[in-house]
């Protein structure tokens, strides 16, 4: 059995990067504060010492330029991993992302690859305000041409990062700040799990059932998975057996996996920290319903962030966020029907 050790998601990301960079000289990393500082969220710790400043590059605050540069380098045979410090910053560089990175394979008729990874932090819950707390899963998942992944734990984090780096298509790698293991944003101990020391790939586009159950299917990604797992534990006391699916990827979306589960349970609850309307939760529900609405014993529900800018003040933000209690309440309500 391969050796494993416990890692935080931050360390798992850095380990994947290091292991890939050791075997592939075309992989390089750039972004703000990723070199000497090791990344504001710890995901490039140790890389500058090992690989030097040619391959681990601090950039100016010039997202349009360096993400655009990532596209150009990727099309020229390199494998850049580019950090967008907060996903909320996509506004200043989105053309490079959705119009070029995501479309150039298509525009080239498949003759060019864009083997680029953008890693960006997501998530709120610690009062960082409306411009530093978003998830934006729907925004990135909606636009064609880029894969989107979001690990909930260190094991997935390393495997997905390696898969993303090796993928010849562009991948948006979203890591939730509350799961990084940085301490100063709170820690979710369940995100810190055993990670093989050797490198490995987790297939992008494959969801995982992380808790088996028969009464209700709870689908989530990122931190929502942890809320759902805690809810599933609590629901046992109410004799409700909840199945929890960790999507791991949004694009491709593992619809088959979700549908198979709902076929079994007949009830669907989606937990998504992103905004409520026009996003991931609606897509999942639509996918299930258009496949076979007769599978459902009760209308599907979703627990999402309301369609408001994320408020700073703690009582307001906490009220708005998905939580274990909200999931438990929803499941109790759905099970009655």
Partner 1 sequence: MNPTDTQRLWMYRNMLISRYMEERIESIYMEGKKPVFNMANGPIPGEMHLSNGQEPCAVGICAHLTAEDVVTATHRPHHIAVAKGVDLNKMMAEIFGKSTGLSGGRGGHMHLFDSDVNFGCSGIIAQGMGPAVGAALSRKLQNKSGIAVSYIGEGAANQGAFHESLNLASVWKLPVIFIIEDNNWGISVSKSASTAVAKNSDRASAYNMPGLSIEENCPDAIFSATQAAVERARTGGGPTLIEIKTSRLAGHFMGDAEDYRPEGEKETLFKADPIPAYRQILLDANIITQADDELLIQETQQVIEEAITFARDSEYPAPEEAMLHVFAQS
Partner 2 sequence: MAEVIIIPMDLWEEDEEGVITAWLVDNNTPVKVDQLVAEVMVEKIQYEINSTCDGVISILSKEDDIVSKGSIIAEVS
Rounded CA-CA distance 179/254 in Å is 23
3-state percent breakdown (helix, strand, coil) of the chain, nearest 5: 40, 20, 40
Least separation in angstroms between residue 38's CB and partner 2 is 10
8 forms part of the interface with partner 2 (CB under 8 A): yes
Q: Is 64 in the site for partner 1 (CB under 8 A)?
A: yes
First-last CA distance in the chain: 46
Q: Is 81 in the site for partner 2 (CB under 8 A)?
A: no
Instruction: Tell me which residue of 36, 41, 322 sits closest to 181, measured CA to CA.
Output: 41
Cα–Cα distances in Å, from 93 out to 9, 28, 70, 84, 98?
Answer: 26, 20, 12, 9, 9
Which residues, 6 or more positions from 223, have their beta carbon under 8 angstroms from its beta carbon? 123, 125, 152, 176, 178, 179, 188, 273
* 184 touches partner 1 by CB under 8 A: yes
Using CB under 8 A as the binding criterion, the count of chain residues that bind partner 2 stands at: 14
Say if residue 110 is exposed, middle or buried (CB neighbours under 10 Å; 0-12, 13-18, 19+): exposed
Asked if 234 touches partner 1 (CB under 8 A), the answer is no
Query: 305 by DSSP, 3-state: which?
Result: strand
CA-CA distance, 284 to 304, in Å (whole number)?
A: 13
The answer to the question of residue 34 lying near partner 2 (CB under 8 A) is no
Query: Which of these ranges, 129-137, 178-186, 221-229, 289-297, lies near partner 2 under the rule CB under 8 A?
Result: 178-186
* Tokens 């592939």 found at: 24
Among 20, 32, 41, 42, binds partner 2 (CB under 8 A): 42
6 makes contact with partner 2 (CB under 8 A): yes
Handedness of CA 103, 104, 110, 113 (dihedral sign): negative
Residue 101 is a binding residue for partner 1 (CB under 8 A):
no
| Of the residues 312, 324, 326, 332, which one makes contact with partner 1 according to CB under 8 A | 312
Count of residues of this chain found to bind partner 1 when the rule CB under 8 A is applied = 43
Sites for partner 2 among residues 9-28 (CB under 8 A): 11
Site membership for partner 1, residue 132 (CB under 8 A):
yes
For partner 1, which residue of 49, 292, 307, 325 counts as binding (CB under 8 A)?
Answer: 307
316 binding partner 1? (CB under 8 A): yes
The smaller minimum CB distance to partner 1, of residues 28 and 305, is found at 305
Choosing from 15, 20, 132, 176, the catalytic residue is 132
Full DSSP string of 169-206:
S-EEEEEEGGGS--STT---GGGSEEEESS-----TT-
Phi, psi of 186 (to 5 degrees): 80, 160
**Would you count residue 189 as binding partner 2 (CB under 8 A)?**
yes
Q: Which does 8 bind (CB under 5 to 8 A by kind): partner 2, partner 1, none?
A: partner 2
91: contact with partner 2 by CB under 8 A: no
Give me the active site residues, please.
63, 132
- Give the interface with partner 2 as residue ranges (CB under 8 A): 5-8, 11, 42, 181-184, 187, 189, 192, 194
């Amino acid at each position: 059995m391969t050796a494993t050790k416990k890692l935080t998601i931050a360390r798992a990301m850095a380990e994947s990067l290091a292991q890939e960079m050791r075997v592939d000289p075309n992989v390089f990393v750039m972004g703000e504060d990723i070199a000497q500082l090791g990344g504001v969220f710890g995901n490039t710790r140790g890389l500058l010492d090992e690989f030097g400043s040619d391959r681990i590059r601090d950039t100016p605050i010039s997202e349009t330029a360096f993400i655009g540069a990532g596209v150009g380098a990727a099309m020229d045979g390199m494998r850049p991993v580019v950090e967008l410090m907060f996903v909320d910053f996509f506004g200043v560089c989105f053309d490079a992302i959705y119009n070029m990175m995501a479309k150039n394979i298509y525009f080239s008729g498949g003759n060019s690859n864009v083997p680029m990874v953008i890693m960006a932090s997501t998530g709120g819950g610690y009062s960082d305000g409306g411009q530093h707390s978003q998830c934006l899963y729907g925004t990135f998942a909606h636009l064609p041409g880029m894969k989107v992944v979001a690990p909930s734990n260190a094991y997935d984090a390393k495997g997905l990062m390696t898969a993303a780096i090796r993928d010849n298509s562009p991948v948006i790698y979203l890591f939730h700040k509350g799961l990084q293991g940085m301490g100063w944003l709170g820690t979710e101990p369940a995100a810190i799990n055993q990670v093989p020391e050797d490198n490995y790939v987790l297939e992008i586009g494959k969801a995982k059932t992380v808790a088996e159950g028969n009464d209700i299917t709870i689908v989530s990604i990122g931190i929502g998975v942890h809320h759902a797992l805690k809810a599933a534990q609590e629901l046992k006391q109410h004799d409700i057996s909840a199945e929890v699916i960790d999507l791991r990827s949004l694009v491709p979306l593992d619809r088959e996996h979700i549908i198979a589960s709902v076929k079994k349970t007949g009830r669907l609850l989606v937990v998504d920290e992103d905004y409520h309307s026009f996003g991931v939760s609606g897509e999942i529900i639509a996918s299930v319903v258009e496949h076979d609405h007769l599978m459902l014993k009760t209308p599907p529900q979703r627990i999402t962030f309301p369609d408001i800018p994320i408020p700073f003040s703690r009582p307001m933000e906490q009220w708005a966020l998905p939580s274990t209690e909200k999931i438990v309440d929803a499941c109790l309500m759905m099970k009655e029907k």
